Amino acid sequence: MNEMTIKPLTVNDLAAMKQRGEKITCLTAYDASFSALIDKVGVDMMLVGDSLGMVIQGHETTVPVTITDMVYHTRCVSHAKRRAFVIADLPFMSYSMPEMAATNAALLMQVGGAQMVKLEGARVDIVSFLVNQGVPVCGHLGLLPQSIYRLGGYAVQGKEPAEAAKILADAQALQEAGASLVVLECVPAMLAREMSTQLRIPVIGIGAGIDCDGQVLVLHDMLNIGIIKRPRFSRNFMKEAASIEEAIHAYHQAVKQRQFPMPEHSF
Query: Which residue ranges make up the site for ligand KIV (CB under 6 A)?
Result: 28, 47, 49-51, 89, 183, 185, 206, 216, 218
Choose, from 22, 160, 185, 245, the residue flagged as catalytic. Answer: 185
Q: What region does 204 belong to: left with phi over 0, alpha with psi -120 to 50, or beta? A: beta
Instruction: Please state the closest distance from residue 215 (CB atom) to ligand KIV, in A.
Output: 10
Instruction: Please state the closest distance from residue 28 (CB atom) to ligand KIV, in A.
Output: 4
Comparison of 39 and 50: residue with beta carbon closer to ligand KIV: 50
Q: Which residue is nearest to ligand KIV (CB)?
A: 49
CA atoms of 47 and 77, how far apart (whole Å): 9
Q: What is the DSSP string of 144-195?
A: -GGGHHHH-S------SHHHHHHHHHHHHHHHHHT-SEEEEES--HHHHHHH
CA atoms of 245 and 18, how far apart (whole Å): 26
Comparison of 29 and 130: residue with beta carbon closer to ligand KIV: 29
Is 240 part of the annotated catalytic residue set?
Answer: no
Instruction: Please state the closest distance from residue 12 (CB atom) to ligand KIV, in A.
Output: 22
Comparison of 168 and 183: residue with beta carbon closer to ligand KIV: 183
Comparison of 150 and 162: residue with beta carbon closer to ligand KIV: 150
Helix axes 189-198, 161-177, angle to 10 degrees: 30
Q: Which residues contact 174 (CB under 8 A, 6 or more apart)?
A: 122, 124, 127, 139, 141, 182
Instruction: Please state the closest distance from residue 52 (CB atom) to ligand KIV, in A.
Output: 7
Is there a cis peptide before residue 263, judged by omega within 30 degrees of 0? no
CA atoms of 47 and 26, how far apart (whole Å): 7
Instruction: Please state the closest distance from residue 217 (CB atom) to ligand KIV, in A.
Output: 8
Separation of first and last alpha carbons in the chain: 38
Q: Which residues contact 65 (CB under 8 A, 6 or more apart)?
A: 50, 52, 53, 57, 59, 89, 91, 92
Name residue 181's amino acid.
L
Instruction: Please state the closest distance from residue 65 (CB atom) to ligand KIV, in A.
Output: 9
Comparison of 51 and 115: residue with beta carbon closer to ligand KIV: 51
Comparison of 89 and 213: residue with beta carbon closer to ligand KIV: 89
Please identify every residue annotated as catalytic.
Answer: 185
